[in-house]
Structure 1
């Protein structure tokens, strides 16, 4: 390969529009950061280069011999990854690749015909993201499936529901967990919608308004396995909304996972003692021997925090006059690693759920020691017809206060005490009998009675599980078809490229 100054003259246009190479300060800051952000795009930019060269060859923009020679060099770089470490002295990923190719073939001058470097990088960026989005969707499907299995197994397992971290009402562990599966399934819906908007080919746009040289944008889309082309050339090169949309999807997913992680962290404490986190998802303290720190759950919270910052950076970078490089740099820097981190976080939550140990005895004890059945008692009193619900609510609230002040539980209530309170509140007794109360203060009975759509009754939980599994199956079919289309396109592109070089 030529030495750096000579390469800089060739690939950075030094000696033409620029009289001197980039300074050391520029190389060590902006160029180095740009290279670091684009490194993950290197292979995908290679596929974009191969498709573009094949399109040029078919349109006779490149002479046949030069096209075959250039394609041979591109395939060598793509299949052997011999480019080496990207060098900030040589600019970005495109000019680094150009520098390597210049050492292999004099046909390198044909590669950029009618094409800005931004087009190659943007195309590579979209190629990377669409594959990552499919992997994230796969992880979400696995998490929803894991939750569905646990919900089915625990459709009748009594569990205390909390609001404001206070015991609220009885539910089941299956109903509680499935409440996190539906947001995750909506995450899948959002990803599918985003994928449809993402999977459009930006290539063949010239700088941003086309080119005098022949371009076949639909051919490029077909070669790279896109569903179609981005309709407007300038929009194709400077789309700001899609990176912001994906960042928003990542934030929603991370926050949904974090909410569950926060709950599990609380429930696993000695103070709540409702469940136990597997040791493999914890970390021991180096000073306090009794500690079993739920480190995996804490990490998921920090992941959500990071994504909130990344989303802000991506949105802020787009808030400039259009056609600015900072519209893209934050997206290149933040999005690919963020999708990978969220995917890993979702997989970690799936692991954590698989290792949970529920303490049903403690769950029942928590309900028994609380006044979680107070709502059921009030509704039961109203259903007897002796009082409307607001009256029954006041009576029950007074009852709870009376029992709590004397260290008693709801199960200690009797008909005489309730009638005494009713006389004070309403001026009349309710006419209850003691044998009526157990049915109104039993957790299992209360759960079985919640038969409305989406309720905690076991049969409703099982219906929710069936619905989730059906939806996941639909998402999995979509993922298989999308991944297969990418694989078929890549194999076809490689075969066509080899045919061009005469390597059949």
Structure 2
């Protein structure tokens, strides 16, 4: 059992205790970050003459070799090591002897793992952001292609007013745009370097923490060593960001699942993102959308787990904090996988535009516009509301939409109706006369698309 400690102990750790305490099975994902951080630490130690230039060069070269061998599969990370730190250091010492034993000068595993997790999380944020940007580009293209695709807008899952598919997709563009803003904000807050904080009280060695921070791409060093080793706020924030991303994906999936039903037939999901039934040959199931919806709870679980772990921890580092990794790593992979698969599903999805338009018409989504017509012709709003209510009831009985009625039928309900009512309740008219920014009218949507186009160029 390779351990970085032992001088204080006279007995071997019980095997069961060792296995319970060890983190190598999951923190091996941090090998790249651990070696990157170690190289920066060595560069700083050499700069400060804590290590000689030659010692620093030997350690740096050997660390590069270890990483290369791990990535190529030549060197395996096994469970004989307690954690990724002991794996790297043990292999370094085996190859360089006493020189390798100087690597850990002025450093604790506490600030080392804090650094590793920050570096790893920062990389994950960048990868997630790229996936979100890809999804936004897909949504943007659908919006451009569907400025005139009329569909019903809903409240309470009831058809409410006519909108366009472009406008509906724009709501999700806004959600995922906010998600990117949150990621940027989280990255800004986490981007301070904890290395040099030691176990909790810094070190007596003359470290240059600003130099280490700059080598690793941080904005500067953290300003309190106790907080540095016990802070996981950035990880909780990122898991919260991922939870919101997954919530938005889940809402989108729920709509796609609904639109995919025989009752709606708004979309056709590509065969490559669907599955069949083992017993019912007619079935084409939206499994990817359902799995994304289901996996949302998995990401929520990681967030709640870490919040629960951290809520009772006194300063500074405690072993409980080792629990920050397994579920977080799983949440990172889950969210990225869901984003990639959802984007692929959306790119290949076909929209049944005629069905969308017919649904808007049959759902009386232009009823509000019919009421507005009466108001604009001198009818008090409350009376207009009642008249249109009776009109809708008549349409239901006759199985017609409002614009399918004759002028005579309309005038039997109110003699205020004239020939121009048909233009007033035309679905395209209903949509396009809504011109305020943020509304579904074509002119308003074109302005929004120009804003989105500039946003995506950044």
Please tell me whether residue 49 in structure 1 is matched to residue 38 in structure 2: yes
Q: Match of 2:429?
A: 445
* Helix, strand or coil at the partner of 2:223: coil
Please tell me whether residue 140 in structure 1 is matched to residue 132 in structure 2: yes
1:71 and 1:365 mapped to 2: Cα distance?
A: 68
| Mean CA deviation greater in 106-115 or 288-297 | 106-115
Could you give the per-residue CA deviations for residues 206-228 of structure 1, whole angstroms, max 9, x where no partner exists?
Answer: 22221111111011011112222
Instruction: After TM superposition, list the pairs within 5 Å mapping 1:399-410 onto structure 2.
Output: 399-410=391-402
If asked which structure has higher relative contact order (CA below 8 Å, sep 6+), I would say: 1
| Mean CA deviation greater in 58-67 or 378-387 | 58-67
Q: Which runs of 4+ in 1 moved over 6 A?
A: none
* Helix, strand or coil at the partner of 2:21: helix
383, 390, 406: which one aligns with 1:391? 383
2:184 and 2:425 mapped to 1: Cα distance?
A: 45
1:433 and 1:62 mapped to 2: Cα distance?
A: 91
Given that residues 154 and 174 in structure 1 are in contact (C-alpha distance below 8 angstroms), is that contact kept between their aligned partners in structure 2?
yes
1:106 and 1:354 mapped to 2: Cα distance?
A: 57
Given that residues 136 and 173 in structure 2 are in contact (C-alpha distance below 8 angstroms), is that contact kept between their aligned partners in structure 1?
yes
Q: Match of 1:496?
A: none
Q: Match of 1:58?
A: 47
Given that residues 132 and 340 in structure 1 are in contact (C-alpha distance below 8 angstroms), is that contact kept between their aligned partners in structure 2?
no
Q: Match of 1:18?
A: 9
Q: Match of 1:328?
A: 321
Q: Match of 1:122?
A: 114
Instruction: After TM superposition, list the pairs within 5 Å mapping 1:43-192 onto structure 2.
Output: 43-81=32-70, 84-104=75-95, 105-192=97-184
Per-residue deviation, 1:64: 4.6
Instruction: After TM superposition, list the pairs within 5 Å mapping 1:203-218 onto structure 2.
Output: 203-218=195-210
| Mean CA deviation greater in 443-452 or 317-326 | 317-326
Per-residue deviation, 1:355: 0.9
* Helix, strand or coil at the partner of 2:153: strand
Q: Match of 2:340?
A: 347
2:17 and 2:304 mapped to 1: Cα distance?
A: 26
Q: Match of 1:463?
A: 447
* Helix, strand or coil at the partner of 1:293: coil
Unaligned runs of 5+ residues in structure 1 are 422-429, 475-504
* Helix, strand or coil at the partner of 2:419: helix
Coordinate RMSD, CA, aligned: 2.1
Instruction: After TM superposition, list the pairs within 5 Å mapping 1:270-285 onto structure 2.
Output: 270-285=262-277
253, 258, 261: which one aligns with 2:250? 258
Given that residues 147 and 177 in structure 1 are in contact (C-alpha distance below 8 angstroms), is that contact kept between their aligned partners in structure 2?
yes
Per-residue deviation, 1:412: 5.0
Please tell me whether residue 293 in structure 1 is matched to residue 285 in structure 2: yes
Given that residues 155 and 173 in structure 1 are in contact (C-alpha distance below 8 angstroms), is that contact kept between their aligned partners in structure 2?
yes
Given that residues 37 and 329 in structure 1 are in contact (C-alpha distance below 8 angstroms), is that contact kept between their aligned partners in structure 2?
no
Please tell me whether residue 356 in structure 1 is matched to residue 358 in structure 2: no
1:221 and 1:202 mapped to 2: Cα distance?
A: 8
Given that residues 414 and 434 in structure 1 are in contact (C-alpha distance below 8 angstroms), is that contact kept between their aligned partners in structure 2?
no
| Mean CA deviation greater in 460-469 or 245-254 | 460-469
2:442 and 2:457 mapped to 1: Cα distance?
A: 23
* Helix, strand or coil at the partner of 1:283: coil
Per-residue deviation, 1:402: 3.6
Q: Match of 2:304?
A: 312
- Aligned length, in residue pairs: 454
Q: Match of 2:364?
A: 371
1:52 and 1:17 mapped to 2: Cα distance?
A: 26
Per-residue deviation, 1:89: 4.1
Q: TM-score, normalised by structure 1?
A: 0.85
2:79 and 2:120 mapped to 1: Cα distance?
A: 22
Shift in alpha-carbon separation, 1:30–1:290, aligned structure 2, 3 A? farther
28, 31, 49: which one aligns with 1:39? 28
